Structures are given as structure tokens and as C-alpha cells.
């Protein structure tokens, strides 16, 4: 099995979790033994989030999508953003806030779950009353945490340990953009994303009655 950052291997990771006897759980009570807390911080693309969400639903997997209200790359208040939240919920996923410190506006769109965007060490793991901070206890512990940040698993791709039931429980951070758009490096993957985005933007311009001749 090659640990490439594409949707085929992503599906293999999900299935490895099932073979290892894990359940896909939402943040809240716990963490319980045998739970996988599959988390997606959506930094760049709602399109990528939705494609990953559909794939997970096909595999009977439920995840937590943390969305930004202050992204420079997408607008959660637009019709596209509103539809994305509806679709994520319809597919059985949880939706929380990917917040930019110190702003923490948890309105009715979100479950009380927060991850900080590019957090600094001094507030990253601070607990927040009434809210689950995914970087705080009890859900954050380095031995039971894996992240694909910048297309690199710092402690290795987790598929083998998942298949063997090696983790008591696990929080996994997966950025959909890295898997939906393909490239051998983060730079190439981002360029693939921008090419797809350009095509999508041209369609949006045409739909907005902009003459493109």
C-alpha cells in the first residue's frame, strides 16, 4: 500500500480503522477506548470538504468539520457556505468552528466544538468553559494524535497502527484539500487546487451574468 495523499488511500485509512475495531465518534463525552475522532479543519475549500464528506458517508464514517467564519478563501455566509453546512449535517457529520484567536463567535450554526487556526502555544490548549477545545484535555494527547499538516504525517501515516488496533483511541486531523487535489508535494497540490478553483470561479462569473468573451 502506498501512503499517497489521495482519496483512494484516504478510503483505505478509513477502512483500516474499521478493521482495527474502531468507531468514528464526535467530540463531547470521552474519549472512550476504541473511538476515532476524525477532525477536519477547513482552511481553504468548501468544495474539498464536501467531496471528502460524501466519500466518508459512502464508507459509513462520521467526522467533525470545523469551518471558518473569517477565512480569506471562502465565505461561510454566502449561499455556498449555507448549503455546505446543510449538506455536511445531512451526511451525518458534526459541524464546529475553526476560529481565529481570540475571536470565538459560536452561533447556532455550530456545535460547541472549536479548533484554533494556526494556534500559538500560549492559548492553544487552554480549556474553554462550555466548549470542547480539540487541542485541550481530554481530547488532545500527542501519542493519540495524528495530523497531515502540509502533506506530511509527522508520526507516520496511521493506517497500519489503525488496522492493528494499536491506538487506545485517536484524534486525526485531516485537511480535505490535501487529499481531494493531487500533487506529489504541498506546493503542487495547492496549485492543483487553484486550477480547479479558477474553473469554478469562471462558472460563477458566467452564472453572475459576467460576459467572458
Query: What SS3 state is found at 85?
Result: helix
Name residues contacting Zn ion, limited to 43-62 (CB under 5 A): 43
Q: Is 177 in the site for Zn ion (CB under 5 A)?
A: no
Considering only 33-41, 128-136, 193-201, 203-211, which stretch makes contact with Zn ion by CB under 5 A? 33-41
Neighbours of 194 (CB within 10 A): 12
Closest distance of CB 86 from Zn ion, Å: 22
Determine if 148 is a binding residue for Zn ion (CB under 5 A): no
Query: Between the CA of residue 3 and those of 15, 19, 38, what are the distances in Å?
Result: 14, 17, 18
Strand partners, 30: none
Stretch that binds Zn ion, among 42-50, 71-79, 82-90, 186-194 (CB under 5 A): 42-50
Contact 88, 95 (CB under 8 A): yes
Question: Which lies closer to Zn ion via its Cβ, residue 92 or residue 119?
Answer: 119
Q: Which of the residues 70 through 129 are near Zn ion (CB under 5 A)?
A: 117
Minimum distance from residue 43 beta carbon to Zn ion (Å): 4
- Which region, judged by CB under 5 A, interacts with Zn ion, from 36-44, 58-66, 183-191, 201-209? 36-44
Which stretch, 26-34, 126-134, 152-160, 185-193, contacts Zn ion (CB under 5 A)?
A: 152-160
User: How many residues bind to Zn ion according to rule CB under 5 A?
Assistant: 6
b (16+ CB within 10 A) / e for 148-178: beebeeeeebbbebbbeeebebbbbbbbbbb
**Shortest Å distance, C-beta 118 to Zn ion:** 6
157 is a site residue for Zn ion (CB under 5 A)? yes
SS3 sequence, 1-32? CCCCCCHHHHHHHHHHHHHCCCEEECCCCCCC
- CA distance linking residue 20 with residue 3, whole number of Å: 18
**Interface ranges with Zn ion (CB under 5 A):** 3, 41, 43, 117, 157, 159
Amino acid at each position: 500500500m502506498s501512503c499517497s495523499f489521495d482519496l483512494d488511500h484516504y478510503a483505505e485509512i478509513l477502512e483500516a480503522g474499521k478493521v482495527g475495531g474502531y468507531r468514528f465518534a464526535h467530540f463531547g463525552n470521552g474519549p472512550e477506548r476504541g473511538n476515532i475522532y476524525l477532525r477536519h479543519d477547513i482552511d481553504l475549500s468548501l468544495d474539498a470538504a464536501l467531496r471528502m464528506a460524501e466519500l466518508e458517508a459512502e464508507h459509513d464514517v462520521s467526522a467533525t468539520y470545523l469551518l471558518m467564519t473569517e477565512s480569506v478563501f471562502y465565505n461561510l455566509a454566502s449561499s455556498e457556505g449555507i448549503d455546505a453546512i446543510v449538506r455536511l449535517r445531512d451526511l451525518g457529520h458534526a459541524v464546529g468552528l475553526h476560529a481565529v484567536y481570540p475571536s470565538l463567535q459560536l452561533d447556532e450554526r455550530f456545535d460547541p466544538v472549536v479548533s484554533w487556526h494556526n494556534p500559538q502555544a500560549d492559548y492553544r490548549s487552554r480549556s474553554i468553559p462550555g466548549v470542547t477545545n480539540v487541542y485541550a484535555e481530554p481530547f488532545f494527547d500527542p501519542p493519540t494524535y495524528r495530523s497531515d499538516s502540509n502533506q506530511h504525517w509527522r508520526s507516520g501515516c496511521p493506517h497500519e497502527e489503525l488496522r492493528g488496533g494499536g491506538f487506545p483511541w485517536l484524534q486525526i486531523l485531516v485537511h480535505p484539500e490535501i487529499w481531494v487535489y493531487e500533487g506529489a508535494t504541498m506546493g503542487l497540490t495547492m496549485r492543483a487546487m487553484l486550477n480547479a478553483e479558477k474553473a469554478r470561479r469562471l462558472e460563477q462569473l458566467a452564472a453572475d451574468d459576467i460576459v467572458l468573451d
